[in-house]
Structure formats: C-alpha cells, structure tokens
Amino acid sequence: MRKQLTLILILMNLVVLAVFYLFEKGIREEDRFIRKDKKIFHEEAVNIDYIRISGDSIGPDRILKKTETQWELTSPMEWPANIFAVSRILNQITFLEKETGFLVEELKIAERDLSNFGLDNPQLRLEFGKGAKRTAIAIGAPTEIGNRVYILSPDQKEIMVIKRGLYDSLLVDLGNLQSQSVFEIPLFELKTLSIQKSYPSPLRIRISKIDRQWRFETPIQTRADLAEVETVVNGLNHLAVHSFIDNPDPDLSVYNLTNPQMRLTLEAEDKRQSILVGAKFAEEEGDEYYYYAKLSENDTVFTIPVGLFDDHLNQAQEKLRERRFVPFDPGAISALEISRGNEALSLQKLETGEWQVFSREEDGSMVAHEADPAIVASMVSSLQTLRAQNFVSDAPSIADLEVYGFTDPQRVIHLQADKDIVLEVGDLVAGNLRHAYAKLESEPFIYEVDRSLLEEFHTRPLDYRARLVHREPTEARLVGLTVHEADGDQVVYGAALNEKTPTWASIAAESAEESAAREDLLSLVDQAKMIEAKSHIDEAFDSIEWKYRLDFQFERGGEAEVDSWTTSLWVSERLSGTRAIVGFRPQGRVFYAPQSFIDAFFGLAFSRLDPGPEPEPASAQGDRSTGPPSPDAPPGP
C-alpha cells in the first residue's frame, strides 16, 4: 500500500514539473517572437559599409565609409573616423527596437499630421547600407513623456517610438566622429620610418627594422638607437590632432604645405601612412607652438604639437642614431691589446677565466703577471657602454684624419671577442679638453668620446696587476701582531692572544687607549689575512726608505701539531693623509697602501710613539741667527 502511494506521489510531481516546463517554454518562445517583432532592422543591418547623417541641426552632411582597413569620414572632410563613435552607431542600428507605433494613414482620423511628431522637417535623417543597397529613416521630435523620440519607418508608412540612444549617437560634434590620432600603425607592425626634409637643407632619412634591430639605411648605413626609435614611434602613435582648420585656404602654400619642411612616413607590411609638416606658428593667446600638417592622401589641414618634432625628428640623423658604437659580446672577449706609439701591452684571458697582463721588458723579453679581475671587468664595461658624445664626421678625408689625430693615435685598443674590433683614440677636442676623437678602424665615422677612456686604457703594466698581493690560507689564525721600527728592534706596538685575552675583541676591550685606537687594532686584524694594494709602484724594494716593519704571527693546526709562521710588511713614513708605501719582500712588491690600512696602521703606531723630551726654550738653544727665522719673528731690515 505504501509503495503504491509513493509511486502516485512521484507521478504527480512529474506531471507538475512538466506543466511548469511547458508553461515557461511557451513564455520564452512568446517573448522571443515579441522581441523579434520589436526589432526594426534585420538583414539590412548586417555588414554595413556606408552611413550618411544629415539634418539642419548638424550642418553639412556627414558621410562615413568603410574601406578595406578602416572607417573613414569622407564628408564634410576626409579623415579617419573615430572607431568608437562608429561602433556605437552600428550597435544602435543593429539592436534598434520599436517601443510602440502607429500607421501614418491613421493620422488623418485623429486630425494630426507628420508635423505633430517633428517628421515633416526631421531633425536628422539616417541612411545606411551595404554596397548599392540603402535604408533610410527620419528622426523627429522627442516624446512628451519618457526618454524617447519619434522616427519614420524606412517605407514611410509607420511612425515608431524608440529610445533616444540612436539619436544621441548621431547628434554629436563633428570632432567626435573624427579620429584624434594621426598615425595608426602600432610599433610591432612597423617596418620602416622615413623622413624627407627640405629645411634647412634637403635630407632623406630611412630607418628600417632588420632582425629585430633598427638600422639607418640612408643617408648612412649604421645602427639606430632601439630605445629612441621606439620612443619616437610610440610618440607618433599617441600624436593627437590639436585642431582642424575650418574652411582651409585652397592655396596650401599659406601653411607651407606645398613644399613642406618635412614628409614623415610609417610603413608596415600592408599599410602606409604619411603626413606633411608645414609652417610653425604660435597661438594668439599663450606661448604654445604648433605645426600645420596634412595627410598625404587628402587636403584636410590640421595642427599638431611641436614637441616630438623639435625634440627628436628634426634632428633624427643624430637623435635616433645609436651612440654606443663598440658592439661586442662581453662573454666572448678573450684578449685586449693596448698600444701607444712604441709602447704596448696585452691582457689575455686564460681557460680558467683568470686574466694575465703581458708586457715587454727593456731587454725585449715578455713578462706575464696576474691581472686584477675588477680592473679588467671595468675596462670591458667601459668599452661596452662607450657612447658618442657628438658625431663629428661620417665621411672624413685623409686630411681630416690627420687633423683629428688618427695618423698617430694616442691609443689603439684591439678587442678580441666574437669579432675583432680595433678602436682608435685621436687628439683631444680643441675647445673641449674633456672630449677626445675616436673611431673604429673598420668604419669611417668619427665621434667625440669622454677623455677618461685615455686614462683607463694606458700602457703602464703595473696598473693592471692584481691588487691582491698576498692571501693567507683559509685555516690560518692570527695570534700576534707587532710593529717594529725598521732600523732596529725597538717595538712600537705588540699584542698577542693568550689565556686571559683569547680573542682580538677582548684585547681591544682591555686596551686603555681611546676607542679610536681600539677600532684601528680591529681594522688591522681584519686586513691581516688579505694584503691588497691600492696601486703598484715601479720601484725596487731596497730603494725605499722604510720606517716600520709590521709582523703578523699566524698559526694553524690542532693541539697535537701546530704550524706557525710570520708574514712581514714594510711600511714607509706617512707621505700624506692618503699615501703611504708598503713593501712585501718575498715578491719584491712595492705599492701604495689602501686608505683603510693607512688609517688603521698609523692610528695604532702613532698612539704608541714616544714624542721624546720637550724642546728647550729658545733662549737656551744659543744663537739661531743662522737658522731659518721663526714664523713669529719680525721681518729683518
């Protein structure tokens, strides 16, 4: 019995669901037919390629035509159309619906006519279509209630009420139908940028994209600056019309457009756009300047801001040219050769990645030393980033090469990398001694470069040697530090680790001297395991008058076996606040110490020196008339 009742309830639920489904389906079908019936345009609104808007309230007729690539405004002037404005009109036409309507023949019964709805002389007329087919409607007055307007159907038999969206999309300023952009070729499509100038002298410039790089093809063949070219192209794509000239003078020479000062062309695979740039003028109010311009394919005259043209395009042969003129792969570099007259040296990269500097001794033999990697890296970076400060000559004569100093260059730098490059540096620039002339051996172009190149690339082998003079083993432990006077065994300062002070920090903490001396001690300890030179000196070790000897005592190993040794540095008098000479006898190396060593060593040594007895009074020193006068003594007769 329960099973039968359950089955009956299930069947009843299914029947109810079926009734609801059929009812909703019927509503949807009815709504669809109603919607279809409300839609005013059907096949005639598909693939529209022609729109004409006319009416007394908008002046001359506005005609929009679709070409293969874009919509264009052909009347009252020729100009690319604003795609957003056109799309809005097309959407309104496609989805236009009738709110309500009545037949024109019914007006006589109600004793009314078209004038009651503003359709005897309509505000707007809209004609559109595809090819030769045309559909037209008239738009009249707004309704008394609601945001609606009256229109007259294409067959002129029915007056309809529609929402005023179509009316608003048609009744816009002419400027809203015009594209404000001058160029519409995006950067990724662009293949060529061409500039033809007539002022101040005739010049043709052509820049093409070849293998993702921009290159000048005329007037010279050289690399263009990728960043600068992209900046200009993006600027052109954002270049907006400032204003259109209403009723322009038929004589375009008034705007200097019959023989324009510039013709600018952008070319893609299947598209080409050109503008002519004419006279420069200032607005009557304000100090803003503009150029008159026109597209090459029509006579519509407009104005554009001067910024992009004055800042880049008027000097495109220099502004868009690549200023880094030594192109090479820094990872592929294997050698650097530097010569100056009869002097020369070579830097070679070993298979291990280390560098050596080779130089010729007076007896003609070649000597190799380890080169400082930081110095070599700086030199490679300087070449890679070397920029032309000015472009001097693109086709120098033999006489020009002599004038600029290339018959006897100050430097010849031979770079061996993915390709061999020879850079020549000539004389300093007259009137600007911060610059020197430079050129590549393989190219005729002469540039001005910063003269610091001469200072960095010299022929003094010592200056390229590794700054690291000596490095202690990793496991070495500094256990003592002693400063002696060089001409005897007198100890100026001494300290060593012990049970009471097992660390250098504890020795510094127990020091009775002021905090600066404690910091000097810890700084010297930090530098003990790695002796570095600020710069090398070409002097014999024994030719220097040494003032101090600094001994570092090191140990390594455990309790069972301890290996100990002493590393000694010889130090001169402090020559100035930033100069002191240090020597390392095992290598015969003599060098200027880095500032950190000078400050720490002399801060520690001077704090321990005994200044000696006070000088005797002047009266007790006898007659000093033969010596130099005292600074405070009165002048003699």
Q: How open is the CA angle 249-252-255, to the nearest 5 degrees?
A: 95
Question: Can you tell me the distance from the alpha carbon of 166 to that of 137, in angstroms, rounded to the nearest whole number?
Answer: 11
Q: Are residues 479 and 602 in the same domain?
A: yes
Residue 17 is assigned to a structural domain of this protein = no
The pLDDT of residue 488 is 78
Q: Are residues 487 and 453 in the same domain?
A: no
C-beta of residue 536 within 8 angstroms of C-beta of residue 587? no
Residue 291 is assigned to a structural domain of this protein = yes
C-beta of residue 178 within 8 angstroms of C-beta of residue 82? yes
| Poorest-pLDDT segment among 81-90, 214-223, 252-261, 487-496 | 487-496
C-beta of residue 483 within 8 angstroms of C-beta of residue 491? yes
The pLDDT of residue 1 is 57
46 pLDDT higher than 60 = yes
C-beta of residue 303 within 8 angstroms of C-beta of residue 292? yes
Q: Are residues 334 and 313 in the same domain?
A: no
Radius of gyration of the chain (CA): 45
Classify residue 225 by burial, with Cβ atoms within 10 Å: 0-12, 13-18, 19+. Answer: middle
Residue 622 is assigned to a structural domain of this protein = no
| Residue linked to tokens 């730098």 | 413
The pLDDT of residue 613 is 45
Last residue of a domain, one of 422, 448, 463: 463
Q: Are residues 518 and 584 in the same domain?
A: yes
Question: Can you tell me the distance from the alpha carbon of 253 to that of 260, in angstroms, rounded to the nearest whole number?
Answer: 9
What CATH number is associated with residue 488? 2.60.40
Q: How many residues does the chain have?
A: 637
Give residues with Cβ within 8 angstroms of 202, minimum separation 6: none
475 pLDDT higher than 70 = yes
Q: Are residues 428 and 481 in the same domain?
A: no
pLDDT class of 612 with cuts at 50, 70, 90: very low
150 pLDDT higher than 50 = yes
- Domain with 370, as residue range(s), is 330-463
Residue 324 is assigned to a structural domain of this protein = no
Total count of domains within the chain: 4
Q: Are residues 135 and 224 in the same domain?
A: no
Q: Are residues 384 and 506 in the same domain?
A: no
Give residues with Cβ within 8 angstroms of 160, minimum separation 6: 40, 98, 99, 100, 101, 150, 151, 152, 153
Q: Are residues 336 and 414 in the same domain?
A: yes
Q: Are residues 507 and 574 in the same domain?
A: yes
C-beta of residue 573 within 8 angstroms of C-beta of residue 566? no
How large is the angle between the packed helices 515-527 and 595-606, nearest 10 degrees?
A: 130
Write down the mean pLDDT value for the chain. 87
Query: If you average pLDDT over residues 446-475, what whole number do you get?
Result: 94
Residue 624 is assigned to a structural domain of this protein = no
Residue 491 is assigned to a structural domain of this protein = yes
Last residue of a domain, one of 417, 432, 463: 463
Question: Can you tell me the distance from the alpha carbon of 436 to that of 413, in angstroms, rounded to the nearest whole number?
Answer: 14
Question: Can you tell me the distance from the alpha carbon of 517 to that of 511, in angstroms, rounded to the nearest whole number?
Answer: 9
Last residue of a domain, one of 440, 463, 486: 463
Q: Are residues 223 and 171 in the same domain?
A: no
Q: Are residues 54 and 170 in the same domain?
A: yes
Query: If you average pLDDT over residues 219-237, what whole number do you get?
Result: 95
pTM here is 0.73
Query: Over pLDDT 70: what percentage of the chain?
Result: 89
Residue 28 is assigned to a structural domain of this protein = no
Residue 619 is assigned to a structural domain of this protein = no
Range 86-118 burial, b when 16+ CB lie within 10 A, else e: bebbbebbeebeeeeeeebeeeeeeeeebeebb
The pLDDT of residue 616 is 46
Tell me whether strands 355-360 and 491-496 are parallel, antiparallel or unpaired.
Answer: unpaired
Q: Are residues 601 and 526 in the same domain?
A: yes
